[in-house]
Structure 1
């Protein structure tokens, strides 16, 4: 008989044993299938991530107007659009005000028509929020009539909070008004920059660290029921099968279980995919249709999982002698060797250490070299743990009965206990290393904004408002319950001659209380004026330019539209007033500048309303700094409501101490998604493994109960059998994780610093998952500890 025919025959016989071996065979195959299926489901999800991200980007680009074609004047095919983004209870809401200027105005993706004045189109998630009790305060702000729900093509995800607000007051005030865009179409042809080397390193490490536990779990699942299988193979030897034949039969059983796992994994994936649209984590969500595995990746998973099942089974049987009269495990009497177990992590370190100190300044990291090094280090955890557990239990003796039962069980078969916690150990080691790397490089991707939320929670940015409306808006905000202070500041340009072009200086107008936010004033009364000194702002904004030099008391200036925008720009709008002459008060005092709550250091002149120039037209820029009593409920959102009611186009900017780079935040969000999936997999696989081991020992437990052993003693022995490998595994994982994290931080050119909070947190998380799984396995354990479990036919 040819070798191929022998393999086919024996694999087929193993499959028949898996499906036709009675109740025991079905249970064993089902447990294997569930364990493999959980891993397959997560593998399939991981293959869909690149496509899901690409789909999100494509829909975001399709609705963008970043490089859309512009028009200089209203036409039948033009649309005015302006951002009116909102924040509600630390949640960002993206929105656009729109106004069609002609019958053929471009239609935003996902809409059937453009909302008219007083109308609004909402995303499904925002519509649900507004209808819920949690959205009562937001309904006061977004109170327009809802005429349409935005379709999927117009959203990056099902959980996105997004709206279009129709407006009849939206207008473009000349070419310098960059707040409002006049477009003739939608779409953005993005040419995205690749991630820098350190961010790419973090992406590679995230995938490796999250997928390694999956591989370990699949390898563990295909070995469910190993003791019973070996006894059955011994019976086959008794009827004439040779040793190679029984190994091929065992491989056939594993192959059958893995195929069941592929089917169940596809089912788990389909169920998870159908539910993913209702899940939103950190304002990130994915459409079920986006989770579409690349065909070649799906085929790779379908081929790799059965092949791995066969390989793992044959590797596990290398130390088992299956004879007609029984099974002899040669690994029992001989001690595990440690030299080759240490060789794997050492080789991994050898691959990673040459890249030490490269950071972002020396080109990209070799992704294959990095992946191989990290994989070898994490595999080192799985091969070192059995040796460590064997050495520990070999030297333990004495103690309570429950402890002795647990230790003896571990001495007889420590490999099964180590396999149970290998996945946890690998996951914890990888998570610790990643957390150390993220903590180490966070400073590189987290930039201080210079803002001071303690002085103002919100900065209201107003464009082209008159002083009367500014004061009115500030009073309306001050009247909101919970608002303790609202101080308005307006800024206008001034120059010695017009048109001034770049030679301008800033004149800031406000009450003494408001001017105290931008300068250190010894004394102040209405009618005073001040010359600012000591401005060290490295890049002043356009409205803050001081190219014209410092002004002196008594200087004569032009104030208002000094940059040549006074004439009609062809936009159809009336010409703006010409600049007005104004003389700096002779008693103006020199005062030092002070950073305002947004972190800006101003230059130029400060004047109180009584000394301010008159009839200068619209103010180019104005700000209101708002302080709130955060101990009161929803004070900040009530202030935002007041701002939106006064003018939807006013920006209420929430002040923050720092902001993170978008790429860094996206990777951390992806890690959060992946870690959540791996934790679910860890819990499910551990529970299945625990139940399988209890089922294997059902007769032993029943016999001990029949001879009078207390159930509490047996329960404690099961807990000890889980606790000892877990403690050793977590200690080993913490050591390997810290070592790997130190190497990775060196590769990123960061000083090595152990993030003990991450180490303890991830270790505690791993221990917590095991505790939960152990508690869930106690009810089945109590049912198995019955004397009638000895009954047989």
Structure 2
């Protein structure tokens, strides 16, 4: 039904011509219904056949890590029959709806008069929506129900405004093109947009709302990508340092176990996972965690650290600021309640800004294993060895095999949240898949409608050539007519989606999580695809002069 309306402006011209020739309204609607119904039947049958032919190959695809084409999504035969029968019926119903009820409107279409200028009130919902999105919440971080309702209303108004603003945008482009001096191709394109804006407006509006939703969804996903659990997992999976923890039973020689695990192919190193803590008794005595080991072990745990000395304890990153009182001693303890009081460190180990946020935040201090009195604290119930490896397929299985050699019953598990990473990565892939579908269907529909209009306007093209207009000028006019609404409308949709998404991020104070690269990339790909499709529509716009075409002019 949507495809049947893509070239509604051209169809209205044909029907207007039939009405002016004396055909009754009822017969005119019968012609429109037969035309749309026949196309829908042929398209539905062909689509159903191609669907079943391509299904074996498509069923092997996994989008966002999920089998969306599995047997659970196989349509019932009754549903397939309903599509073949219902699609033509819907197309016929749409075709019977009069798009220009007045005879004066039909006469204007037949004479190629400029369409009526859209009302500027169409801009009001979009303006109000953007204004409401710009309202920021209070600095205390509390989000009231009223503020949330205002944000939802703003997003709805922006989406509605994106639909309503397309005719205004198309007409403004047409008026601008007509007034540009010295370029016949641009003026021809502007005149066409003035007389037949409907086809362009419908397709561009559909793509605008689709890209608006996709961009907003991508912005919302940025809040999830900014979570420490995802950043930590992404660094492990996509980087070259994936930390794993090996649980060994008590009594195992840990130094020998660490040396054996460090020999695994792809391992950067292994160390005994010893940590001590400060007591937690409120804000006056914060909980701090100290890494116990050597500087080499610390470099394996947090790559890129600098300023470490095996002979003296030190703060790690912001640990000194977290402790606050530089003059007091620090009381360290293990999980069994044993304590050791040490002087507060006087030096700081620098941590790279791109380090694992969870690992870096949980290590506020470094204590060498040679520190006097520390050995009494290093007696946990379970002995853990941490190993950092290159994230390769099967690496966890290899670590598990080595751990079983060291001690039957040993466990190996990653020190990062794989579930969070897979979930968010799946959502991101799904967003891009939806964006690809929106662009593909929208641009394909636009190309079909543009080529259809070009074929229907062959008499106009021939007339232009007969009066001396070069074919290259006609092709350039077609390109301008197709490219400008898309090249301006699609970035507008991305901008509106970014505005809505930034409003959502502002609710939680997470504006720093805006995925600029993804949003700009989506805008760039959209414009490039629009320009390419506009170029393809040029193919059928300027036929060579033939006797039969001249006679029809």
The 5 Å alignment of 1:302-451 reads 307=90, 310-311=93-94, 314-318=97-101, 321=104, 328=109, 332=113, 335-342=116-123, 345=126, 362=145, 373=157, 375-399=159-183, 401-439=184-222, 443=226, 449=232
Where does the alignment leave 5 or more consecutive residues of structure 2 unmatched?
277-288, 324-332, 405-409
User: Offset of 1:681 from its aligned partner?
Assistant: 0.9
Residue 290 of structure 1 corresponds to which residue in structure 2?
A: 72
Compared CA separation, residues 611 and 672, structure 1 to 2 (3 A): same
State yes or no: 1:622 paired with 2:384.
Answer: yes
Secondary structure at the counterpart of residue 101 of structure 2: helix
Compared CA separation, residues 589 and 423, structure 1 to 2 (3 A): closer
Compared CA separation, residues 339 and 220, structure 1 to 2 (3 A): same
Residue 328 of structure 2 corresponds to which residue in structure 1?
A: none
Match of 2:453 among 685, 693, 704: 693
TM-score normalised by length of structure 2 = 0.67
CA distance in 1, matches of 2:451, 2:301: 68
The 5 Å alignment of 1:170-181 reads none
State yes or no: 1:227 paired with 2:13.
Answer: yes
8 Å contact from structure 2 (residues 271, 385) kept in 1: yes
Compared CA separation, residues 663 and 602, structure 1 to 2 (3 A): same
Task: Please list the CA deviations of residues 621-662 of structure 1 after superposition, one character each: whole Å capped at 9, or x if unmatched.
Answer: 22234366xxxxxx8569767535524765363769x99577
8 Å contact from structure 2 (residues 9, 196) kept in 1: no
8 Å contact from structure 2 (residues 18, 28) kept in 1: no
8 Å contact from structure 1 (residues 460, 626) kept in 2: yes
Task: Please list the CA deviations of residues 288-346 of structure 1 after superposition, one character each: whole Å capped at 9, or x if unmatched.
Answer: 322256999997998699557745763522355488xx775589356324145335546
Q: Quick one: higher RCO (CA 8 Å, sep 6+), 1 or 2?
A: 2
Residue 262 of structure 2 corresponds to which residue in structure 1?
A: 477
State yes or no: 1:653 paired with 2:414.
Answer: yes
TM-score normalised by length of structure 1 = 0.49
8 Å contact from structure 1 (residues 432, 738) kept in 2: yes
User: Offset of 1:254 from its aligned partner?
Assistant: 3.7
User: Offset of 1:385 from its aligned partner?
Assistant: 2.9
User: Offset of 1:724 from its aligned partner?
Assistant: 2.9
8 Å contact from structure 1 (residues 461, 651) kept in 2: yes
Match of 2:337 among 538, 543, 548: 548
Compared CA separation, residues 312 and 415, structure 1 to 2 (3 A): same
CA distance in 1, matches of 2:114, 2:448: 29
Compared CA separation, residues 459 and 333, structure 1 to 2 (3 A): closer
Compared CA separation, residues 228 and 297, structure 1 to 2 (3 A): same
Give the structure with the higher percent strand.
1
8 Å contact from structure 2 (residues 315, 364) kept in 1: yes
Task: Please list the CA deviations of residues 595-614 of structure 1 after superposition, one character each: whole Å capped at 9, or x if unmatched.
Answer: 99744449999746999989
CA distance in 2, matches of 1:470, 1:227: 86
Give the structure with the higher percent helix.
2
Instruction: Please report the RMSD computed on the Cα atoms of aligned residues, expressed in angstroms.
Output: 5.7
CA distance in 2, matches of 1:507, 1:439: 32
Residue 72 of structure 1 corresponds to which residue in structure 2?
A: none
Where does the alignment leave 5 or more consecutive residues of structure 1 unmatched?
1-35, 37-214, 494-505, 538-543, 553-587, 629-634
CA distance in 1, matches of 2:389, 2:164: 55
8 Å contact from structure 2 (residues 242, 389) kept in 1: yes
Residue 66 of structure 1 corresponds to which residue in structure 2?
A: none
Compared CA separation, residues 455 and 434, structure 1 to 2 (3 A): closer
CA distance in 2, matches of 1:223, 1:261: 21
CA distance in 2, matches of 1:645, 1:773: 55
Compared CA separation, residues 789 and 755, structure 1 to 2 (3 A): farther
Task: Please list the CA deviations of residues 484-530 of structure 1 after superposition, one character each: whole Å capped at 9, or x if unmatched.
Answer: x413215599xxxxxxxxxxxx9998667437878997445xxxx99
Match of 2:437 among 671, 677, 682: 677
Match of 1:785 among 544, 548, 552: 544
8 Å contact from structure 2 (residues 313, 367) kept in 1: yes
CA distance in 2, matches of 1:355, 1:589: 46
